[in-house]
Amino acid sequence: MKRGNFIESSVAGFVRALGRVLMSEEIANRRGLLQALDPRVRLMGLFALVLAVVLAHRLTVVLTLFLAAVMLALCSSVSILLLAKRVWLVVLVFTGMIALPAIFLTPGTRVAAFAGGALPITAQGLSAAALLIARVETAVTFTTLLVLCTSWTHVLKALRWFCIPPEAITMLAMTHRYAFLLIDTASQMFESRRSRTVGHLPRAALRRMTARTAGVLLSKSIALSDEVYLAMQSRGFRGEVHILSEFHMKAWDYVGLLAFLGAGGIAVWAGR
């Protein structure tokens, strides 16, 4: 990264995060297989599939689940190109970097060797690396499908059905809301700083500037929490959380739930 470019990269990161939110909301409102299901079924079903991926010990089973994830994405109006750019490529690079040395470091049956035999490739190493990459790709694809096809308010409402304390859900909801407010505030602070900066600042000055920006953001956050507290008090909030829920399971939702749980169960059984 070029010297002084970190302001741009921070701002780009904030804009990217806001863009992702808008895109998720847009995909969640499309017509599709996952969107048609009750959010509780989506949450429970996709979690069951993630669990099946983690429990499966066979590469073929994990790859079958990956194909199922691709089919689900296609049926839910989620672009394969989007998944490839946002999930598969990123996971491949990161997990690939982590998994690659395992090919050489895992003891086992030698299948090939580099550098005159100093770097032996083992069958066990290849299997371990392939299994790790396939498993992470598949699990992250299922999680991303959940995030893309379910609006955040529905995720929170669905969590209420899984014995998560209401206070925790309220905090999650408030954090999500204020995170984007603070992202917007931080983005504006960095933008205004960039507009007032001529030339390049030394790195030490950039560090101080970042810490000061974070400090101002912290003060603003605390002031914001005071305002929210007063607003909650004025509305009579006494710590009890009541969430309206209008989720209704239909026959289609039960079929979906059974299909998810059945697929997960079969995958766990076949992948032993």
Partner 1 sequence: MHIPDGYLSPSTCATLYAGAVAGWYGAFRRLKRTLLSRVVPLISVFAAFAFVVMMFNLPLPGGTTGHAIGVTIAAIVLGPAGAILAISIALAIQALFFGDGGITTLGANCFNMAIVGSLVAYASYRLIAAGASVASRRRIAAAAIAGYLAVNASAVVAAIEFGIQPLLFRDAGGTPLYAPYSMRVALPAMMIGHLTFAGLAEAVISAGLVAYLQVADPALLQATSGSRPGWEESSEAVRVTAKGQRRLWLAVGLLMLLTPLGVLAAGKAWGEWSPAEFVVAEAQSPVTAAGVPVGTVPAGMQRLANLWTAPFPAYAPTFMKSAAFGYFLSAMFGVGLLLSLSLLVQGYLARRRGTRYST
Do 131 and 53 contact (CB within 8 A), yes or no? no
Q: Note whether 123 binds partner 1 by CB under 8 A.
A: yes
Residue 76 sits at φ, ψ, to 5 deg, of -110, 20
DSSP secondary structure, 153-209, as one string: HHHHHHHGGGT--HHHHHHHHHHHHHHHHHHHHHHHHHHHHHHH--S---HHHHHHH
Segment 35 to 74, residues that bind partner 1, using CB under 8 A: 47, 50-51, 53-55, 57
Q: What does the alpha-carbon distance between residue 23 and residue 173 come to, in Å, rounded to a whole number?
A: 19
What is the crossing angle of helices 123-149 and 59-75, to 10°?
20
Query: Which of 27, 72, 186, 267 is close enough to bind partner 1 by CB under 8 A?
Result: 186
Q: What does the alpha-carbon distance between residue 184 and residue 200 come to, in Å, rounded to a whole number?
A: 24
Give the number of residues in contact with partner 1, rule: CB under 8 A.
88
Q: Note whether 217 binds partner 1 by CB under 8 A.
A: yes
Query: What is the pattern of x (binds partner 1, CB under 8 A) and - over residues 6-35?
Result: x--xx--xx--x--xx--x-----------
* Residue (252 or 269) nearer to partner 1, CB: 269
Q: Note whether 1 binds partner 1 by CB under 8 A.
A: yes
Query: Which of 182, 261, 263, 270 is close enough to bind partner 1 by CB under 8 A?
Result: 182
Smallest separation, CB 24 to partner 1 (Å): 8
Q: Note whether 102 binds partner 1 by CB under 8 A.
A: yes
Query: Which of 29, 60, 153, 225 is close enough to bind partner 1 by CB under 8 A?
Result: 225
Smallest separation, CB 103 to partner 1 (Å): 9
Do 61 and 267 contact (CB within 8 A), yes or no? yes
Q: What does the alpha-carbon distance between residue 11 and residue 45 come to, in Å, rounded to a whole number?
A: 36
Smallest separation, CB 157 to partner 1 (Å): 13
Smallest separation, CB 253 to partner 1 (Å): 21
